[in-house]
């Protein structure tokens, strides 16, 4: 027994040292000979955006490629690329921006009045202008994921001159209605499968008016991931699927990993989350002046697939496409990267030439 404990202690210490020793630098792109690919870019930078120091990771195998600004949802998810590479850097110069009050941009002293939907939309437009100037582009591509679509579609509507196209991954519509649909689905599913414990917990929840009770939010993520309708179809736990990958991510320093989860702990009570629950984006944004692409996993109940499809059918745009991902839940860019990149290559980029 003592030998086993010593081995476990050694492994724990070794694991901790490895994590602490990670440089936090983005991994460069190298060719078959181990040399850095000429013209590639792999950097972590901080810039001032509307008076706030904000960080981002920029990755591309060719910095002359079209620029894609990625807007994350409830928390930055760039760390998932270590286990779930997207392949987007083959076609774009991808900017994984970590928005104010999140991830590497987290500042515990950020005034609450600066954490609004309006501010994030303005930040998105300001960063877009910076990227257009830096990379000498006329326009860039804008991709939002989950909560990032709530910000992204508003920026695209307000400043279409900045964007080549808008790509929504799990487009927010009426999020309060989405949560109700998710709740009803989960309760029905747990009752059907005989999960008495989870059924009881869900039955104790009372969703009324336009407020989600704390009792629901406490079990929401666990309930969704257990059923495969959360972050990813085959991700069954936030701990093993998100927390562990984030702390073993080589491109974050220890401090940055702590910031990531400090910010996440506060996101559930954020003004933006409240706005998403109160806003029906389908009535606020009814038309875009640029091409629109909706990517959505059919197993997604974090953001309703059915509501997104209904919104897509109504929204006006010079060109629009809805792409269903049959093996995905909430994150098809990570879950089905080959299909995503194939569509990017054959449809989105080819249409822009």
- pLDDT digit string (tens) for 95-128? 999 999 999 999 988 887 888 999 999 999 999 9
**pLDDT given at position 206:** 77
Strands 52-60 and 140-145: unpaired
**pLDDT given at position 109:** 86
Rounded Cα gap, residues 327 and 325, in angstroms: 6
334 has a pLDDT exceeding 90: yes
Q: What are phi and psi of 166, to 5 degrees?
A: -115, 125
Kindly indicate the confidence band of residue 273, based on its pLDDT and cuts at 50, 70 and 90: confident
11 has a pLDDT exceeding 60: no
pLDDT tens column, 191-247: 999 999 999 999 988 777 667 888 898 899 999 999 999 999 999 999 999 999 999
**pLDDT given at position 176:** 94
Q: What are the chain's domains? A: 41-175+266-352 (3.40.50.1820)
Q: What is the mean pLDDT of residues 300-311?
A: 98
Cβ–Cβ < 8 Å for 352, 66: yes
319 by Cβ neighbours in 10 Å (0-12 / 13-18 / 19+) ranks as: exposed
5 has a pLDDT exceeding 50: no
Q: Sign of dihedral through CA atoms 280, 340, 94, 103?
A: positive
In sequence order, the 6+-apart residues with CB closer than 8 A to the CB of 105 are: 46, 52, 53, 54, 55, 98, 99
Q: What is the mean pLDDT of residues 148-171?
A: 98
Q: What is the mean pLDDT of residues 37-48?
A: 96
Cβ–Cβ < 8 Å for 196, 165: no
**pLDDT given at position 205:** 86
268 has a pLDDT exceeding 60: no
44 has a pLDDT exceeding 50: yes
**pLDDT given at position 21:** 52
10 has a pLDDT exceeding 70: no
Give the CA count within 13 Å in the CB-facing half-sphere of 76. Answer: 29
Stretch among 10-24, 136-150, 287-301 having the lowest mean pLDDT: 10-24
Stretch among 8-12, 13-17, 197-201 having the lowest mean pLDDT: 8-12
Rounded Cα gap, residues 61 and 36, in angstroms: 10
Rounded Cα gap, residues 18 and 12, in angstroms: 10
In percent, how much of the chain has pLDDT > 70? Answer: 92
Rounded Cα gap, residues 43 and 31, in angstroms: 17
Cβ–Cβ < 8 Å for 144, 120: no
Question: What angle do the packed helices 214-227 and 196-203 form, to 10 degrees?
Answer: 150
**pLDDT given at position 6:** 36
Q: What mean pLDDT, rounded, does the chain reach?
A: 91
Q: What are phi and psi of 80, to 5 degrees?
A: -65, -20
């Amino acid at each position: 027994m003592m030998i086993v404990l010593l081995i476990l202690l050694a492994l724990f210490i070794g694991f901790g040292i490895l994590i602490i020793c990670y440089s936090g630098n983005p991994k460069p792109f190298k060719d078959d000979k181990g040399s850095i690919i000429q013209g590639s870019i792999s950097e972590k930078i901080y810039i001032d955006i509307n008076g706030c120091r904000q960080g981002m990771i920029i990755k591309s195998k060719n910095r002359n490629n079209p620029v894609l600004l990625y807007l994350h949802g409830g928390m930055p998810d760039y760390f998932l690329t270590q286990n779930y590479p997207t392949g987007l850097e083959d076609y774009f110069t991808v900017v994984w921006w970590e928005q104010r009050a999140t991830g590497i941009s987290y500042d515990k002293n950020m005034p609450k009045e600066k954490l609004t939907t309006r501010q994030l939309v303005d930040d998105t437009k300001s960063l877009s202008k910076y990227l257009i100037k830096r990379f000498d582009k006329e326009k860039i591509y804008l991709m939002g994921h989950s909560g990032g679509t709530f910000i992204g579609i508003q920026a695209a509507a307000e400043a279409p001159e900045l964007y080549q196209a808008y790509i929504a991954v799990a487009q927010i519509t009426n999020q309060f209605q989405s949560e109700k649909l998710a709740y009803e689905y989960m309760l029905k599913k747990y009752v059907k499968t005989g999960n008495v414990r989870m059924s009881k917990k869900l039955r104790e929840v009372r969703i009324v008016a336009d407020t989600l009770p704390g009792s629901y939010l406490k079990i929401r993520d666990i309930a969704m991931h257990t059923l495969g309708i959360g972050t990813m179809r085959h991700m069954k736990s936030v701990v093993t699927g998100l927390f562990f990958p984030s702390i073993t991510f080589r491109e974050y320093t220890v401090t940055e990993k702590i910031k990531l989860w400090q910010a996440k702990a506060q996101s559930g009570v954020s003004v933006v989350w409240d706005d998403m629950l109160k806003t029906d984006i389908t009535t606020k944004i009814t038309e875009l002046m640029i091409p629109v692409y909706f990517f959505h996993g059919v197993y997604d109940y974090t953001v309703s697939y059915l509501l997104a499809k209904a919104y897509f059918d109504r929204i006006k745009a010079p060109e629009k496409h809805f792409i269903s991902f049959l093996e995905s839940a909430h994150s098809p860019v990570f879950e089905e990267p080959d299909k995503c990149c194939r569509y990017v290559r054959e449809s989105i980029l080819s249409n822009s030439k």
